[in-house]
Amino acid sequence: MNLTWLYVPADRPERFDKAVTSGADVVIIDLEDSVAPSRKEEARRNAVAYLRGGAPAVHVRINDPATDEGQLDLRALEGLPMAGVRVPKVESPAAVDLVDLDAPIHALLESAAGVVNAVAIAAHPRVAGVALGEQDLIAQLSLTDEAALDQLRIRAVLAAAAVGLPPVPMSVYANVADDEGLLASTRRGRGFGLFGRTAIHPRQLPVIREAFRPSGEEVAAAREIVEAAESAVDVGAVALPDGRLVDAPIITRARRTLALAERLAL
């Protein structure tokens, strides 16, 4: 599963290769929010040239497909190789049908309607993942407390899990200079079942990885569970040395913890 996602503005083509070599699991060339209206066409040309030039597999965030800019994006990107397309402002499954690109769709839920319809959107056969657009939601709903965002996050987590999609990554943290805030916010999201986070600068990537790194105590506990499960023979629940019983879901979670720790070189 992808842990780090890095946006790069499509009107800054000199940053494309740097983003690809930044260590991010997914690079997203952005045609939408990070590009000024006067530079949309230039951004489109940059993205098309990069994709045609044999670039590594990247995602592209298009403009709202219900707008003229979004339709221009779709026509320009038709037939080009992409690892995924991120679709903003998705409020219903019908919005997904507007995207005719041959790439997995990641639907961004950025409004009250999008969150309310999250399960139906996630269940669309072309949707490969969902994520929240938290800054848009904060603006629309006039939110001032992160606890309110937590309610929206858990709805997205439930929607993805209900239809078997990958875990939901967190939205961007806007203050690039605030590593402590990013770390605390990301750890909070981890507690709500979110996995991974999108970034707007490469310096945020190691902080995101650190937030999802299992602690030494978590690794030790997971290893104890997995070792007990591997030594057991044909039993439903496994007894740990201290007398606790753990069953299949707990064992599966322990294996995930060990795999993540190994991936992050703990």
Residues at the binding site for substrate are 61, 110
Q: Which residues pair with 136 in a beta bridge?
A: none
Amino acid at 243: G
Token digits of residue 180 = 């402590």
C-alpha closest to that of 229 among 219, 221, 240: 240
The residue whose two tokens read 């780090």 is 4
CB distance 72 to 47 below 8 Å? no
DSSP code at position 170: B
Distance in Å from the first CA to the final CA of the chain: 17
Q: How many C-beta atoms surround the C-beta of residue 223 within 10 A?
A: 14
Q: Which residues are annotated as a binding site for Mg(2+)?
A: 110, 136
Q: Which residues are annotated as a binding site?
A: 61, 110, 136
* CA–CA separation, 242 and 222 (whole Å): 14
Under DSSP, is residue 40 helix (H, G, I), strand (E, B) or coil? helix
Burial of 230 per CB tally in 10 Å (0-12, 13-18, 19+): exposed
